[in-house]
Amino acid sequence: MGDNMSVERRTVLKAVGASLTTLGLAATTGCGGGSGSGDGTVTIRYAWWGGEPRAIAIKKTIALFEKKFPKIKVKPEFTDYEAFWEKFQTQASGGNPPDVFQNSVTFLRKYDKRGVLMDLKTQADAGNLSLDNFRNGVLSAGQADGKQLGIPVGANTMALVIDLKAFEKAGVKPKFGWTWDEYFDALQTIQDKLKIAGDTGYFSIMYLYDLYLRQNGKAFYTDSDLGFTEDDLTQWWEDGYKRVRSGLVADPKKIEQVKPKSGLSAGLAASEFTWDNFSIRYEGEGESDYGLAPIPTTDGKDTGQYLGSLMLSAFTGTKHPKEVAQFIDFMTHDPEVGKIMGYDRGILATSEQYEAFTPTDDNNKGVKAYEEEVAAAGVLGKITPHPSGADVIEAAFLRIGGEVAQGKTKPADAAKALFSEAKAAFAG
């Protein structure tokens, strides 16, 4: 989730989730990826996805860990999002995934179902890993079916990124608790005054639709199925397509043309929903000033928000469970690690690391202030664990929503197609 809907994720989810073919996983007991040596030193493999800045920072944290634990060596493996999950699936099918790896809620049940993920409560009970001092209930993001399948390293929540100059010129001031009607009225004002679209394409973002459903007493997922009806989704996509035709939502063809830039930073629209810690991308891409605004609501209060997270998971068949747990504990609690990583993977998840890092740039200061405001408002709920197959469904939602936006598929047909693909994904 933590990198969900980033530039990288928007483009590669299609590739990762488009195929319903999943490899049958081999038995995973006793096949850890780590190794040992005659002097008692062990080596564990640590894999993650992300760009070069993340890799540089993580390698610094590994050096700190190896200094504190000289008998544990860490072999880094990193790549981009798409290649990571393709490689991981192959490794898992052969019973040789990394000992420790970056993970998200989308994949917890999928790989737990296949016997890949360690229940980290066992290592917490053994005293090798602390589950204390996680902020705002984010530890629950790594839980499913009574197990602790991941330990959060960062937290983020959905936000509305706005072009501050455009909103100011239009005289629009977002406020906490504003309704969807007020949001769309604001976009209409922007369109009328500035002659640009108000939004880049909100209705193909699965996690935003999840918030909308939660505002209305539902959720995108139940424990084993979709938590809404075809009629619910048809209405959501009908409303979205109507706003594309009216110009309130940007022309999807123009959005495609400016990729990998965002439609927001390219000046095609004045706002875009995404994860709050992704907001730094807009300053790098665009020529305006950007900030975070509250999620619109149905009732003037409940935003449906929760904290998502990138997390660390462990291979249940590792030969070095204690050392793996010590590594995860260090990476999630050590203050120096927090200073090095900053908000690269979201707001730091534990109080030790959160208090150790003080953001100095406006973007990270804004993310911190936004999450503190959301937490203080008391609207944060618990994330709903995603069923196995959620990665396929997320990709389908993005793809099919894009077809609706382009007028290629009628909303009712699109909803039927999404439900059909979800049924196949759940059975996979």
Per-residue pLDDT of 301-322, as tens digits, reads 999 999 999 999 999 999 999 9
- Domains, the chain, with CATH or none: 7-156+308-376 (3.40.190.10)
Q: Cα angle at 85 between 381 and 42, to 5 degrees? A: 95
pLDDT the model gives residue 140: 95
pLDDT the model gives residue 37: 62
Is 55 buried (19+), middle (13-18) or exposed (0-12) by CB count in 10 A? middle
Q: Give yes or no for a contact between 120 and 314, defined as CB atoms under 8 angstroms apart.
A: yes
pLDDT the model gives residue 428: 76
pLDDT the model gives residue 319: 97
pLDDT digits over 247-299, tens only? Answer: 999 999 999 999 989 999 999 999 999 999 888 888 888 899 999 999 999 99
Spell out, as residue ranges, where the chain has pLDDT lower than 70.
Answer: 1-38
Mean pLDDT, the chain, rounded, equals 91
**In Å, how far from its chain's centre is CA 2?**
3
User: Which H or E run includes 208?
Assistant: helix 206-215
- The amino acid that residue 59 corresponds to is K
pLDDT the model gives residue 13: 36
Question: What are phi and psi for residue 195, nearest 5 degrees?
Answer: 60, 35
